[in-house]
Structure 1
């Protein structure tokens, strides 16, 4: 049991990207309801505009902003900037626990700085593994590295917990909580939601596309886009919306392949409420993202994962996800099949989401209180 002398448990929550913010916002708001906890929020600014959208949605005002984002920033830039700037915050706040999420460079650098200062680390969404340190890059390295130094591990699934135990982690410091992404859906979905893009869909089947991973830039992403274009050309009752990442390389590729395709809308990134409701209105989703693999099954939406590996094998095993690789023919084949094989499609929509029931944030807050309950003794 961790013991301190302060009257309240001081928890510093640090995140920096849009996906992190979506998953950490429910925790922040849950922690703020606890009288025994003082919650301090620090954002790195690894993302800027996209991050601010999430903060506004969940009505979170950061106490600290490292503001590290710059044009064409590299992993070197992000890591060194966070290490130097977050040290000042850690020394000022003197937290009992630093709470980080998942596998971003913000998470890795913050955890490393906390370790250097001997501050306990709580790792949300701990234990995900592909067992290929270069896939996804650099996320697999980041999450493995944080696991080496974390104090409390909040695993979303039993599989994630078993991964941590197999690596030598103390099972008494690991809890299966579900994924906080499911918590976020509770406050964002509106059955009556619509806008001009959704009205454009009309009576057609809507496909949501996302593609942004570093390792997929170049030929793999061209393969994805060509496969999607072929399917759209062959199915007049199908249309797609692709909220394009701000990365200029991705945008250039997408516009070069889809510029003459009138049944795909290329739009700017959506805020969290918009995106969740677009998913809810969709027929199926093609993605190389991680969080969508957890969220979409709660909405009854099949997901085709355009990657060679996934750190979320529970969804594959449950049947809510299908790994389709990064080759044009394999993506084309599996995408076409879900549009024509109604039995397979229906089965994927009816399966239980293996990533939780929407109570992860409450469980995490309970665990933090439990582990610091003797701090006044």
Structure 2
């Protein structure tokens, strides 16, 4: 299949933005807003794969994003291969009917690699938000590390969040004039939400009940942590909370059954451990803003913690965001529960760390990434696809 991008709509260009998970819509929302502010020159088409279903819908509402097409690809127990195949199959007729001038994807999900591959097959330019993240280990995180490497090979336009990401792309052979340093649009989204919201009554009630306590906010859901690794982390956190009466832990639990089974086994009956349902994004940010310490294996939280000036323990043995470690805000725990326990105790007495975190400049930008990305797309399309220098 080959599609000539650019329909006969005069000077109006069509940009198709594809997403399917919660992190994707959080980071693409500021870009979509910036695209839709240019309605005199662009037509915005938004497509959801619904790779995440219940987790995705509240964020779409929260950000005021309208979905033009829902691929609805998910079925119970689906493998990554099945998701990949279903997204490619479902988006092919859309590319034929919408005839976009550019397909925009974000990050490293199965939806993103499927969209980039389908657009490449159709000879439609691909733009990649959050390009150049690498751990150096093709199996960690799995399969995300390989997904983002492959998207780099398919993309025509690369939006890098940090100068380190730019250097990685250049070292891999990407032409410098196809890379734009933009910052990360998660900062835009975070600032937008916090400026326009307050904590919900239910979250406010929980936070009021633990006033004057040191609050740990926990998130963990990555595939490589399932089973014994996650169990050891939760055991360490439980012991730490039980030893210190002034510590409370709040854990919005991911709906994945592999996560919930471990949580039920390790946290049932635990004192001062509050396991709650996943939060809407505004509430999650308000929860993070009250944290004394954040403990997480999430890539997005590695960007949100610096944006809020919160110290972070990263429950992974590698990270594609070394900036959070280099600036001193984050510390890498690895997969050992014993090491996590030691690092939690250190955090109690390490006043220097907390001081550094509160004054460190956010390595992921200032909150203007959405506009930078839209401006670069405009230059790319105006220049005739291929030169944004």
Q: Secondary structure of 2:269's partner?
A: coil
Partners of 1:189 and 1:280 within 8 A in 2 = no
Residue 189 in structure 1 maps to residue 198 in structure 2: no
Deviation at 1:340, TM superposition (A): 2.1
Name the structure 2 match of 1:81.
Answer: 86
Residue 256 in structure 1 maps to residue 256 in structure 2: no
Name the structure 1 match of 2:133.
Answer: 128
Q: Secondary structure of 1:50's partner?
A: coil
Pick from 319, 337, 344 the counterpart of residue 353 of structure 2: 344
- What TM-score results when the alignment is normalised by the length of structure 2? 0.93
Residue 272 in structure 1 maps to residue 277 in structure 2: no
Partners of 2:133 and 2:148 within 8 A in 1 = yes
- The correspondence of residues 278-297 of structure 1 with structure 2, limited to 5 A, is 278-297=287-306
Name the structure 1 match of 2:330.
Answer: 321
Q: Secondary structure of 2:131's partner?
A: coil
Residue 114 in structure 1 maps to residue 119 in structure 2: yes
* Distance in 1 separating the partners of 2:95 and 2:207: 44
* Distance in 2 separating the partners of 1:314 and 1:67: 35
Name the structure 1 match of 2:214.
Answer: 205
Gaps of 5+ in 1: none
Gaps of 5+ in 2: 385-389
Name the structure 2 match of 1:16.
Answer: 20
Partners of 1:188 and 1:277 within 8 A in 2 = no
Q: More displaced, 260-269 or 334-343?
A: 334-343
Q: Secondary structure of 1:188's partner?
A: helix
Partners of 2:49 and 2:73 within 8 A in 1 = yes
* Distance in 2 separating the partners of 1:219 and 1:316: 25
Q: Comparing both chains, which one has the higher relative contact order based on Cα–Cα distances under 8 Å and sequence gaps of 6 or more?
A: 1
Deviation at 1:25, TM superposition (A): 0.9
Pick from 243, 252, 272 the counterpart of residue 252 of structure 2: 243
Partners of 1:122 and 1:151 within 8 A in 2 = yes
* Distance in 1 separating the partners of 2:228 and 2:141: 16
Deviation at 1:336, TM superposition (A): 1.5
CA displacement, residues 189-225 of structure 1 (integer Å, 9 cap, x when unaligned): 1586352221222221111100000111011101110
Name the structure 1 match of 2:103.
Answer: 98
Q: Secondary structure of 2:242's partner?
A: helix
Name the structure 2 match of 1:373.
Answer: 382
1:192 to 1:7, Cα distance in 2 relative to 1, 3 A: closer
Pick from 25, 45, 56 the counterpart of residue 51 of structure 1: 56
Partners of 1:18 and 1:47 within 8 A in 2 = yes
1:227 to 1:170, Cα distance in 2 relative to 1, 3 A: same
Partners of 2:305 and 2:311 within 8 A in 1 = yes
Name the structure 1 match of 2:387.
Answer: none
* Distance in 2 separating the partners of 1:53 and 1:60: 11
1:157 to 1:168, Cα distance in 2 relative to 1, 3 A: same
Partners of 1:98 and 1:120 within 8 A in 2 = yes
* Distance in 2 separating the partners of 1:374 and 1:231: 57
Q: Secondary structure of 1:142's partner?
A: helix
CA-based RMSD of the aligned residues comes to 1.6
* Distance in 1 separating the partners of 2:159 and 2:53: 27
Deviation at 1:323, TM superposition (A): 0.7
1:251 to 1:146, Cα distance in 2 relative to 1, 3 A: same
Q: Secondary structure of 1:189's partner?
A: helix
Deviation at 1:80, TM superposition (A): 1.0
Deviation at 1:290, TM superposition (A): 0.1
Q: More displaced, 326-335 or 182-191?
A: 182-191
Deviation at 1:374, TM superposition (A): 4.9
* Distance in 1 separating the partners of 2:219 and 2:310: 14
Q: Secondary structure of 2:193's partner?
A: coil
The number of aligned residues is 375
List structure 1 segments (4+ residues) > 6 angstroms apart after TM superposition. Answer: none
